[in-house]
Chain A
Amino acid sequence: MFSAVDPLRAALDYHLDRQNVLASNVAHVDTPGYKPNDLERVEQGGFTAALGVAMQRTNERHLVAGALDATPNGRVFQDLSAGVGNDGNYVSLDREAAKLAANQLRYDTVSAIVSAELKQLSFAASDAKG
Protein backbone atom coordinates (compact mmCIF):
# COMPACT_ATOMS: atom_id res chain seq x y z
CA MET A 1 0.00 0.00 0.00
CA PHE A 2 2.82 2.37 0.86
CA SER A 3 5.23 1.63 -1.97
CA ALA A 4 5.03 5.20 -3.25
CA VAL A 5 5.93 6.59 0.14
CA ASP A 6 9.11 4.62 0.76
CA PRO A 7 11.35 6.36 -1.81
CA LEU A 8 10.09 9.67 -0.43
CA ARG A 9 11.13 8.55 3.03
CA ALA A 10 14.60 7.84 1.65
CA ALA A 11 14.72 11.34 0.16
CA LEU A 12 13.84 12.85 3.52
CA ASP A 13 16.63 10.88 5.17
CA TYR A 14 19.12 12.04 2.54
CA HIS A 15 18.22 15.72 2.90
CA LEU A 16 18.44 15.57 6.67
CA ASP A 17 21.87 13.94 6.50
CA ARG A 18 23.00 16.57 4.02
CA GLN A 19 21.78 19.31 6.35
CA ASN A 20 24.05 17.87 9.02
CA VAL A 21 27.04 17.90 6.68
CA LEU A 22 26.38 21.49 5.61
CA ALA A 23 25.87 22.60 9.22
CA SER A 24 29.22 21.05 10.01
CA ASN A 25 30.84 23.07 7.19
CA VAL A 26 29.36 26.30 8.52
CA ALA A 27 30.53 25.51 12.05
CA HIS A 28 34.07 24.98 10.73
CA VAL A 29 34.38 28.25 8.82
CA ASP A 30 37.32 29.23 11.05
CA THR A 31 38.98 25.86 11.54
CA PRO A 32 42.42 25.92 9.91
CA GLY A 33 42.88 23.43 7.09
CA TYR A 34 39.23 22.36 7.04
CA LYS A 35 37.86 21.15 3.72
CA PRO A 36 34.09 21.34 3.37
CA ASN A 37 32.11 18.20 2.65
CA ASP A 38 28.93 17.58 0.76
CA LEU A 39 26.63 14.64 0.28
CA GLU A 40 25.63 13.23 -3.05
CA ARG A 41 22.82 10.80 -3.61
CA VAL A 42 23.54 7.16 -4.16
CA GLU A 43 21.23 4.81 -5.97
CA GLN A 44 18.93 3.36 -3.37
CA GLY A 45 20.53 0.13 -2.45
CA GLY A 46 23.79 -0.96 -1.08
CA PHE A 47 25.07 -4.26 0.07
CA THR A 48 21.96 -5.64 1.70
CA ALA A 49 19.68 -4.47 -1.09
CA ALA A 50 21.91 -6.11 -3.66
CA LEU A 51 21.63 -9.38 -1.81
CA GLY A 52 17.89 -8.92 -1.48
CA VAL A 53 17.93 -9.91 2.17
CA ALA A 54 17.37 -7.95 5.31
CA MET A 55 19.53 -8.46 8.36
CA GLN A 56 17.67 -10.56 10.89
CA ARG A 57 17.66 -9.62 14.50
CA THR A 58 17.76 -12.77 16.55
CA ASN A 59 17.93 -10.99 19.88
CA GLU A 60 16.10 -7.88 21.08
CA ARG A 61 19.33 -6.24 22.10
CA HIS A 62 21.10 -6.68 18.81
CA LEU A 63 21.59 -3.55 16.79
CA VAL A 64 19.15 -2.81 14.03
CA ALA A 65 20.74 -3.05 10.61
CA GLY A 66 21.99 0.32 9.49
CA ALA A 67 22.27 1.83 12.95
CA LEU A 68 26.00 2.32 12.69
CA ASP A 69 26.18 2.98 8.95
CA ALA A 70 27.92 6.23 8.28
CA THR A 71 25.49 7.74 5.80
CA PRO A 72 23.58 4.99 4.02
CA ASN A 73 21.65 7.66 2.15
CA GLY A 74 24.51 9.48 0.52
CA ARG A 75 28.15 9.54 -0.36
CA VAL A 76 30.43 12.08 1.27
CA PHE A 77 32.66 14.04 -1.07
CA GLN A 78 34.79 17.13 -0.64
CA ASP A 79 33.65 20.31 -2.30
CA LEU A 80 36.66 22.58 -2.72
CA SER A 81 35.18 24.77 -5.44
CA ALA A 82 35.04 27.84 -3.21
CA GLY A 83 38.79 28.25 -3.11
CA VAL A 84 41.27 28.31 -0.23
CA GLY A 85 41.74 31.03 2.35
CA ASN A 86 44.84 32.10 4.22
CA ASP A 87 44.53 29.47 6.93
CA GLY A 88 44.00 26.57 4.52
CA ASN A 89 40.25 26.65 5.10
CA TYR A 90 38.09 26.12 2.00
CA VAL A 91 34.73 27.07 3.46
CA SER A 92 32.76 29.89 1.88
CA LEU A 93 29.89 31.01 4.10
CA ASP A 94 27.84 32.33 1.20
CA ARG A 95 28.05 29.08 -0.71
CA GLU A 96 27.19 27.01 2.35
CA ALA A 97 24.28 29.29 3.22
CA ALA A 98 22.89 28.94 -0.30
CA LYS A 99 23.22 25.15 -0.11
CA LEU A 100 21.55 25.11 3.31
CA ALA A 101 18.58 27.12 2.04
CA ALA A 102 18.14 24.97 -1.06
CA ASN A 103 18.42 21.74 0.90
CA GLN A 104 15.93 22.86 3.49
CA LEU A 105 13.47 23.83 0.76
CA ARG A 106 13.78 20.40 -0.82
CA TYR A 107 13.21 18.68 2.52
CA ASP A 108 10.12 20.80 3.14
CA THR A 109 8.80 20.07 -0.34
CA VAL A 110 9.31 16.30 -0.05
CA SER A 111 7.63 16.44 3.34
CA ALA A 112 4.63 18.18 1.79
CA ILE A 113 4.58 15.62 -1.04
CA VAL A 114 4.58 12.76 1.49
CA SER A 115 1.70 14.37 3.33
CA ALA A 116 -0.27 14.70 0.11
CA GLU A 117 0.36 11.04 -0.80
CA LEU A 118 -0.74 9.92 2.64
CA LYS A 119 -3.86 12.06 2.37
CA GLN A 120 -4.75 10.32 -0.90
CA LEU A 121 -4.21 6.89 0.64
CA SER A 122 -6.22 7.88 3.70
CA PHE A 123 -9.07 9.02 1.48
CA ALA A 124 -9.03 5.74 -0.41
CA ALA A 125 -8.75 3.70 2.78
CA SER A 126 -11.71 5.53 4.29
CA ASP A 127 -13.82 4.35 1.36
CA ALA A 128 -13.71 7.74 -0.42
CA LYS A 129 -15.42 9.41 2.49
CA GLY A 130 -12.45 11.42 3.78
Chain B
Amino acid sequence: MSPLEAAGLPLYAPHLGREGELAPVPDVVGPGKAAPGVGNVDPTGFEALVKDAVVKANDQVNRADHASREFAAGRVDDIHGTMLELSKADIELRFAGNVRNKVIDAFYELWRMQI
Protein backbone atom coordinates (compact mmCIF):
# COMPACT_ATOMS: atom_id res chain seq x y z
CA MET B 1 0.00 0.00 0.00
CA SER B 2 1.58 3.25 -1.04
CA PRO B 3 1.70 6.09 1.50
CA LEU B 4 -0.86 7.97 -0.55
CA GLU B 5 -3.36 5.15 -0.18
CA ALA B 6 -2.62 4.86 3.49
CA ALA B 7 -3.38 8.56 3.86
CA GLY B 8 -6.79 7.97 2.37
CA LEU B 9 -6.04 9.74 -0.87
CA PRO B 10 -7.72 7.84 -3.67
CA LEU B 11 -5.68 6.48 -6.53
CA TYR B 12 -7.81 6.66 -9.65
CA ALA B 13 -7.13 4.11 -12.35
CA PRO B 14 -4.18 2.58 -10.53
CA HIS B 15 -3.39 0.34 -13.46
CA LEU B 16 -2.29 3.40 -15.38
CA GLY B 17 0.34 4.45 -12.86
CA ARG B 18 3.43 2.62 -11.62
CA GLU B 19 3.55 1.62 -7.98
CA GLY B 20 3.73 4.63 -5.73
CA GLU B 21 2.76 7.03 -8.47
CA LEU B 22 -0.54 8.72 -8.91
CA ALA B 23 -2.47 8.23 -12.12
CA PRO B 24 -4.11 11.38 -13.51
CA VAL B 25 -6.96 12.68 -11.37
CA PRO B 26 -10.18 12.99 -13.41
CA ASP B 27 -12.23 16.10 -12.91
CA VAL B 28 -14.99 16.17 -10.38
CA VAL B 29 -18.25 16.88 -12.17
CA GLY B 30 -20.07 19.08 -9.69
CA PRO B 31 -23.42 20.84 -9.81
CA GLY B 32 -23.62 23.79 -12.14
CA LYS B 33 -20.47 22.84 -14.00
CA ALA B 34 -20.19 21.79 -17.63
CA ALA B 35 -18.68 18.33 -17.97
CA PRO B 36 -15.10 19.00 -18.92
CA GLY B 37 -12.90 16.54 -20.80
CA VAL B 38 -10.30 14.48 -18.98
CA GLY B 39 -7.19 16.56 -18.39
CA ASN B 40 -9.06 19.80 -18.88
CA VAL B 41 -8.69 21.07 -15.34
CA ASP B 42 -9.78 24.58 -14.44
CA PRO B 43 -6.59 26.02 -12.91
CA THR B 44 -8.53 28.16 -10.46
CA GLY B 45 -10.76 25.34 -9.24
CA PHE B 46 -10.67 23.06 -6.28
CA GLU B 47 -9.51 20.11 -8.35
CA ALA B 48 -6.34 21.95 -9.26
CA LEU B 49 -5.58 22.53 -5.59
CA VAL B 50 -5.96 18.89 -4.71
CA LYS B 51 -4.06 17.69 -7.75
CA ASP B 52 -1.22 20.11 -7.11
CA ALA B 53 -0.91 19.15 -3.44
CA VAL B 54 -1.06 15.45 -4.23
CA VAL B 55 1.52 15.64 -7.02
CA LYS B 56 3.90 17.61 -4.81
CA ALA B 57 3.39 15.14 -1.99
CA ASN B 58 4.02 12.24 -4.33
CA ASP B 59 7.25 13.79 -5.57
CA GLN B 60 8.48 14.50 -2.07
CA VAL B 61 7.57 11.00 -0.87
CA ASN B 62 9.55 9.55 -3.77
CA ARG B 63 12.50 11.78 -2.91
CA ALA B 64 12.35 10.77 0.74
CA ASP B 65 12.10 7.14 -0.27
CA HIS B 66 15.11 7.49 -2.54
CA ALA B 67 17.13 9.30 0.14
CA SER B 68 16.33 6.66 2.75
CA ARG B 69 17.28 3.84 0.41
CA GLU B 70 20.53 5.53 -0.57
CA PHE B 71 21.45 6.02 3.07
CA ALA B 72 20.48 2.48 4.07
CA ALA B 73 22.57 1.09 1.21
CA GLY B 74 25.54 3.16 2.36
CA ARG B 75 25.76 5.11 -0.90
CA VAL B 76 25.36 8.45 0.84
CA ASP B 77 26.27 9.45 4.38
CA ASP B 78 24.02 12.48 4.71
CA ILE B 79 22.19 12.16 8.03
CA HIS B 80 20.61 15.59 8.32
CA GLY B 81 19.74 15.62 4.62
CA THR B 82 17.91 12.32 4.86
CA MET B 83 16.05 13.36 8.02
CA LEU B 84 15.02 16.62 6.34
CA GLU B 85 13.66 14.84 3.26
CA LEU B 86 11.67 12.49 5.50
CA SER B 87 10.24 15.38 7.52
CA LYS B 88 9.34 17.26 4.37
CA ALA B 89 7.53 14.21 3.02
CA ASP B 90 5.57 13.91 6.25
CA ILE B 91 4.52 17.55 6.09
CA GLU B 92 3.63 17.47 2.38
CA LEU B 93 1.56 14.35 2.89
CA ARG B 94 -0.33 15.88 5.77
CA PHE B 95 -0.90 19.04 3.77
CA ALA B 96 -2.22 17.11 0.78
CA GLY B 97 -4.49 15.10 3.05
CA ASN B 98 -5.92 18.23 4.61
CA VAL B 99 -6.41 19.97 1.28
CA ARG B 100 -8.30 16.91 0.06
CA ASN B 101 -10.44 16.84 3.21
CA LYS B 102 -11.25 20.52 2.90
CA VAL B 103 -12.15 20.19 -0.75
CA ILE B 104 -14.42 17.22 -0.06
CA ASP B 105 -16.07 19.09 2.82
CA ALA B 106 -16.67 22.09 0.57
CA PHE B 107 -18.04 19.85 -2.17
CA TYR B 108 -20.50 18.12 0.15
CA GLU B 109 -21.63 21.41 1.57
CA LEU B 110 -22.38 22.64 -1.94
CA TRP B 111 -24.07 19.30 -2.70
CA ARG B 112 -26.35 19.62 0.30
CA MET B 113 -27.31 23.11 -0.82
CA GLN B 114 -28.92 21.67 -3.98
CA ILE B 115 -32.26 21.09 -2.39
Stretch at the interface among B24-32, B37-45, B90-98: B90-98
Set of chain A residues within 8 Å of B90, measured between Cβ atoms: 122
Bound CA span A9–B104, Å: 35
Across the interface, B88 reaches (CB within 8 A) one of A2, A12, A13, A126, namely A2
Q: Are A1 and B95 in contact (CB under 8 A)?
A: yes
Set of chain A residues within 8 Å of B101, measured between Cβ atoms: 127
Interface residues of chain B: helix, strand, loop or mixed (majority): helix
Q: Are B80 and A122 in contact (CB under 8 A)?
A: no
Enumerate B54-105 residues with CB–CB distance to A below 8 Å. Answer: 80-81, 84, 87-88, 90-92, 94-95, 98, 101-102
Q: Are A127 and B88 in contact (CB under 8 A)?
A: no
Set of chain B residues within 8 Å of A118, measured between Cβ atoms: 84, 87-88, 91
Q: Are A125 and B95 in contact (CB under 8 A)?
A: yes
Across the interface, A126 reaches (CB within 8 A) one of B81, B84, B87, B98, namely B98
Q: Are B80 and A1 in contact (CB under 8 A)?
A: no
Set of chain A residues within 8 Å of B92, measured between Cβ atoms: 1, 125
Q: Are B91 and A122 in contact (CB under 8 A)?
A: yes
Q: Are A121 and B91 in contact (CB under 8 A)?
A: yes
Interface residues of chain A: helix, strand, loop or mixed (majority): helix
How many residues in B have their beta carbons less than 8 Å from beta carbons of A? 13
Enumerate A4-35 residues with CB–CB distance to B below 8 Å. Answer: 5, 9, 12-13, 16
User: Cβ of A92 < 8 Å from any Cβ of B?
Assistant: no
Q: Are A5 and B84 in contact (CB under 8 A)?
A: yes
Across the interface, B84 reaches (CB within 8 A) one of A1, A114, A125, A127, namely A114
| Chain B residue with Cβ nearest A122 | B91
Q: Are A126 and B94 in contact (CB under 8 A)?
A: yes
| Chain B residue with Cβ nearest A15 | B80
User: Cβ of A111 < 8 Å from any Cβ of B?
Assistant: yes
Q: Are B80 and A12 in contact (CB under 8 A)?
A: yes
Bound CA span A88–B98, Å: 64
Set of chain A residues within 8 Å of B80, measured between Cβ atoms: 9, 12-13, 16, 111, 114
Could you name 11 residue pairs across A and B whose Cβ atoms are closer than 8 Å?
A1-B95, A12-B80, A118-B84, A118-B87, A118-B91, A125-B92, A125-B94, A125-B95, A126-B94, A127-B101, A127-B102
- With A114-B80, A122-B94 given, can you name 9 additional A-B contacts, CB distance below 8 Å? A1-B92, A9-B80, A9-B81, A13-B81, A118-B87, A118-B91, A122-B90, A125-B92, A125-B94
